[in-house]
Structure 1
Amino acid sequence: MDSLSSISAFLQTAETLSFTQAGRQLGLSSSAIGKTIARLEDDLGVRLFHRSTRTMTLTAEGMLFLERCRRVVSEMEAAKAELAHTQGKPRGKLRVSLPLAGMLMMPTLSAFMRAYPEIELDLDFTDRLVDVIEEGFDGVVRAGEIRDSRLMTRVLGTFRFQLVASPAYLEHRGVPRRPGELLSHACLHHRFATSGKLEPWPLKDRYRDIGLPVKAVVNTIEPLIYMAEHGHGIACLPDFAIRNKLSDGALVSVLEEYLSHEGTFRMLWPSSRYLAPKLRALVDFLAEHLFPHAPR
């Protein structure tokens, strides 16, 4: 804070080229300003002003220091403005990118819209790896590890995959007791929209590479839920997407002890940007309602 006081005295003196005028602006005596400038010059080891009995001008070093000090003060003012803004009410446009599976978050997002009517959501659903900064997003929701030093991150919650089918299908085709028995079942697969490859089922150890039959392939999760619920086969789905279907008995989980994968959803935003009230509201809401049992 002492350095900032010295910088403030220097800036006022550089603007007015007068210890007296600078003192009036800062509520100090001209003598106090003169002593502050002298100490600053001693600390820096350079002269900042050419002084005579009648005139005062900046030296070349003073001009250079002036530009730097203006930047420091500008950054301080911006920081103060940002901190003041964080105390405000969540409002305004919020542009967020979510994975295609994020469509299944719509009940939670709908509840968020009711809770924060002054926030305007601009949602982009894609599995493409967007550039958060270059494309102007306030934040992105992604599954898995994201390594980008330009981004801040917060874990929203974890999920795991489950193999599920309808009770009617299992009654007709039988309940598989071991992964090898999947070879005689109708398997419903998800294809990655970006790579075109089938998403592997996270079976443990020696069962990982068994060639599963293909009854149907889709590139979004919603059709898989529909097909499984209507008895067309067994699908591998994230638990957050089928929580209600499992609780009401529309789907039944099988072979849980043979699955090993667990995923993580994260919110990411530019590290150079403070966490605005509107973004903080969304992050907290998703963490609380989308993954209600996740550790805080």
Structure 2
Amino acid sequence: MARVQMERSGEMEVFVRVVREGGFSAAARTLDLTPSAVSKLIARLEARLGARLLNRTTRALTLTDEGRGYLQAAERALRALDDADQAVGSGTVRGRLVINASVPFGTHVLAPALPAFLARHPELTIDLSFTDDVVNLLAQKADLAFRVGTLPDSALVARKLGRSRRVICAAPGYLARHGAPRTPADLAQHNCLGFNFRRSRVGWPFREDGREVEVPVAGSLLVNNGETLRQIVLSGVGLGRLSRWHVAEAMARGELVPVLEAYNPGDLETVNAVYVGGGQVPRRVRAFIDHMVAVVAASPLFAGG
């Protein structure tokens, strides 16, 4: 029985690696094993469990229902083993950290913060993905995500990093051709670029005569992420409303110009780190969140959480 118990963690690691890499050969290369050895380990695991975990064809490898359930359990078990090792070890942050972030925050804030963190933790591997879609952390096997804006109700644990106000801006070339709007009502004569995903506001908010109003806007282009919108605004197509941290460098270089700041309502967009709760947070997750909290706190473009 003791021998079987010792073998289980190795079988779990091989199974998880096969799923992550998408095949026996790819997993074998990362594990320094032969494909036949990996195949035998998976066959032994399935025989011990009395269930098929993987459907194999010449073109694809897919999880069975039992395989999906075992994958989640195996990943939890391996994280717990890793945390146990680190709890009594030297405190080294190691392992694989899977991170998801929105395209703008990932590009302009997270990516520049990575080199210093990786230099401090050379035994850590970071698997990074940028998308403005709200991903399912469990389905994507992600440890951590950074999300901007209002969070939907979920079982995820959130830690607020900071907040930043939004600004309406345009390229100097656009303003030279069309003039700068002087009041929110002038936006009816301007190309106001926006997003094609559902937002809590339909128009753009302003503060006039001591009260907040929402002005309907329309334009020739809708996009699905903030970085694309920033690039289009930079090219002089129209006006855009973006977080100040997202456009601060371009404004400092004179590539974008803020407009209607006298009417800016000062609404704040929140940046949160979210992760799956329900147990001890892995040290690698805690360490990276703490690092990003410090990065955001040191930036003049963010207000404290």
**Which category of TM-score, normalised to the shorter sequence, fits these structures?**
0.5 to 0.7
| Matched letter for residue 245 of structure 1 | A
- Tell me what 1:111 maps to: 115
Question: Does residue 295 of the first structure (1) align with residue 299 of the second (2)?
Answer: no
Aligned length: 216
List aligned pairs for 1:37-186, cutoff 5 A.
81=84, 84=87, 88-105=91-108, 107-112=111-116, 114-115=118-119, 116-133=121-138, 135-143=140-148, 144-148=150-154, 150-186=155-191
Q: Is the 8 A contact 1:189 1:216 kept in 2?
A: yes
Q: Is the 8 A contact 1:90 1:119 kept in 2?
A: yes
Change (3 A) 1:274 1:170: same
| Matched letter for residue 278 of structure 1 | R
- Tell me what 2:205 maps to: 202
Question: Does residue 269 of the first structure (1) align with residue 272 of the second (2)?
Answer: no
Kindly state the Cα deviation for residue 277 of structure 1 after the two structures are TM-superposed: 2.8
Give me the whole-angstrom Cα distance separating, in 1, the residues matched to 2:139 and 2:231.
37
Q: Is the 8 A contact 1:86 1:277 kept in 2?
A: no
Kindly state the Cα deviation for residue 92 of structure 1 after the two structures are TM-superposed: 1.5
State the secondary structure of the residue aligned to 1:208.
strand
Give me the whole-angstrom Cα distance separating, in 1, the residues matched to 2:147 and 2:90.
27
Give me the whole-angstrom Cα distance separating, in 2, the residues matched to 1:134 and 1:218.
25
Kindly state the Cα deviation for residue 278 of structure 1 after the two structures are TM-superposed: 1.8
Give me the whole-angstrom Cα distance separating, in 1, the residues matched to 2:279 and 2:205.
37
Kindly state the Cα deviation for residue 196 of structure 1 after the two structures are TM-superposed: 9.4
Percent identical pairs in the alignment equals: 26
Structure 2 portions without partners, runs of 5+: 1-79
Kindly state the Cα deviation for residue 222 of structure 1 after the two structures are TM-superposed: 2.1
- Tell me what 2:12 maps to: none
State the secondary structure of the residue aligned to 1:214.
coil
- CA RMSD in angstroms, aligned pairs only: 3.3
Q: Is the 8 A contact 1:108 1:290 kept in 2?
A: no
Give me the whole-angstrom Cα distance separating, in 2, the residues matched to 1:197 and 1:102.
20
- Per-residue CA shift, 1:231-254, capped at 9, x if unaligned? 222111111211211111111111
The structure number with the bigger radius of gyration is: 1
- Per-residue CA shift, 1:67-95, capped at 9, x if unaligned? xxxxxxxxxx98x9378269622221111
| Matched letter for residue 206 of structure 2 | L
State the secondary structure of the residue aligned to 1:203.
strand
Task: Identify the range of structure 1 (117-126 vs 264-273) with the bigger mean alpha-carbon deviation.
Answer: 117-126
| Matched letter for residue 140 of structure 1 | A
- Tell me what 1:62 maps to: none
Change (3 A) 1:102 1:88: same
Question: Does residue 281 of the first structure (1) align with residue 287 of the second (2)?
Answer: yes
Q: Is the 8 A contact 1:90 1:278 kept in 2?
A: yes
State the secondary structure of the residue aligned to 1:202.
strand
Give me the whole-angstrom Cα distance separating, in 2, the residues matched to 1:147 and 1:199.
21
Q: Is the 8 A contact 1:187 1:235 kept in 2?
A: yes
| Matched letter for residue 234 of structure 2 | E
Q: Is the 8 A contact 1:98 1:141 kept in 2?
A: yes
Kindly state the Cα deviation for residue 163 of structure 1 after the two structures are TM-superposed: 0.4
TM-score, reference length from structure 1: 0.61
Change (3 A) 1:129 1:87: farther
Structure 1 portions without partners, runs of 5+: 1-76
